[in-house]
Structure 1
Amino acid sequence: MDIGSLFASEIQYEEELVMGLKLKLKPRDSGQLDTEMHLTLWPSAEKLCSLIPTLIPPTSSILELGAGTGLVGLFTAKTFPGSTVLITDGNTESVDLIQENIEANSLNARSSHFLWGESAGSFDVILGSDVIYDKDFIHPLLRTISLSLNSHGFSILANHTIRFNPLQRLFFEVAARVGLEVETIESNPIYIVRLTLKSN
């Protein structure tokens, strides 16, 4: 994918993402069109999108945490139209933008404002891209995942190693404390983990 092509002058545009799938994406404002910033953030989301078709059952209840632009959730909803997708973020402007993108693409999804730390419901799959970036948010993030997974569910998180590696030990310690088992899928340059509830 040509990342630079995402930041054209048009307010709305269509962009090929993964495996020929196209989504209409709208930037929040001109201040978001910072190529350097998005080059830092997009590879994890891109990598996660590339794995979704093979990792997720086609009719699942899916939650995206810390969605930002909502790319992962939007891609998932378009890939699996039979699934229900809830795309969440802690920023209300991002939530409004995501809802516009959902409607523009006629997707079976909805957006919602959500702060980590409590249950968001009960889901088969929980996704997150570049959500591990600050030690103070690791416990709220993992607690939400632990409380929001159904008994047979799983979570896939993708994070650039630049951000994840300094927090890796804490991440694994907190995951164990909140009842999550962690499996490393990939570790370079994007660190991808699969989390499930510990068996009783």
Structure 2
Amino acid sequence: MKLWPAATTLVNLLDRHSRRESTPLSSLFTTGAAQRRLRLLELGSGTGMVGIAAAVLLGASVTVTDLPHVLPNLQFNVDANAGILDLHGGSVDVAALSWGEIQEMERIGRDYDVIVGSDVVYHDHLYEPLLETLRFFLLGSEKKVVFLMAHLKRWKKESTFFKKAKKYFDVEVIHTDSPCNGSRVGVNVYTFVKRGGENLNSLS
């Protein structure tokens, strides 16, 4: 299972935030529910590194998700880190989530404060399923939910995803890494939040 550059960027930001350094995440990971742990959902988790790191560094309750055939390795990685998760008060659940599949989305529910994803804008045939998933979790929630996405631009066609996304969400770049490993561009970190007054009913 490959570790993508954007995942490293997110983990580094989480680490800096946990050490109380000033980062763009400082306001993002502050909830009004002081009596409960932060709840995160990770899309396209892959190895689960970002979700596991978030649980450890933030003491968060995290649900990591991916396609069914990825789950055994994902669960293995979660189990391998059980000790450090317990030590830091975090928890990680593993669940199947095929983007755009309403039954799977309803099964894991909408009770999250932040949705995270790294290098999820990759295959163009998945742009619409990903947007359907984001509409479900961000527009369908009664509270403000933020999608935090780390992304390394590779192709011009990716602009199609962002153009479509801006029909439903306010999209902002909150952090940019310097290029490395021969790349001409660095990883961008975006926030997506629902635009004012929109809800699921307005999508029909």
TM-score (normalised: structure 1): 0.71
Give, in whole Å, the separation in 1 of the partners of 2:48 and 2:93.
10
Give, in whole Å, the separation in 2 of the partners of 1:185 and 1:168.
18
Q: Counterparts in 2 of 1:138-157, with a 5 A limit?
A: 138-149=127-138, 150=141, 151-157=143-149
Aligned length, in residue pairs:
157
Name structure 1 gaps, 5 residues minimum: 1-31, 33-37
Higher relative contact order (CA 8 A, sep 6+): 2
2:30 paired residue among 41, 57, 72 = 57
Give, in whole Å, the separation in 2 of the partners of 1:48 and 1:68.
14
Give 1:169 shift.
2.3
Aligned to 2:5: 43
Matched residues, percent identical? Answer: 31
Give, in whole Å, the separation in 2 of the partners of 1:134 and 1:141.
10
Q: Contact 1:96–1:111 at 8 Å: present in 2 too?
A: no
Give, in whole Å, the separation in 2 of the partners of 1:88 and 1:197.
22
Give, in whole Å, the separation in 1 of the partners of 2:63 and 2:193.
19
The two structures, once aligned, show a CA RMSD in angstroms of 2.0
Q: Contact 2:124–2:158 at 8 Å: present in 1 too?
A: no
TM-score (normalised: structure 2): 0.69
Give 1:99 shift.
1.5
Q: Counterparts in 2 of 1:29-178, with a 5 A limit?
A: 32=1, 38=2, 41-52=3-14, 53=17, 54=23, 55=25, 56-57=29-30, 59-81=37-59, 83-92=60-69, 94-106=70-82, 107=85, 108-117=91-100, 118=102, 119=105, 120-122=108-110, 123-149=112-138, 150=141, 151-162=143-154, 165-177=155-167
Equivalent AA in structure 2 for residue 48 of structure 1: L
Give 1:146 shift.
2.1
Superposed structure 1 runs of 4+ greater than 4 Å apart = none
Give, in whole Å, the separation in 1 of the partners of 2:151 and 2:132.
18
Give, in whole Å, the separation in 2 of the partners of 1:129 and 1:90.
15
Equivalent AA in structure 1 for residue 67 of structure 2: G
Give 1:42 shift.
2.8
Higher normalized strand content (fraction of residues):
1
Give, in whole Å, the separation in 1 of the partners of 2:40 and 2:157.
26
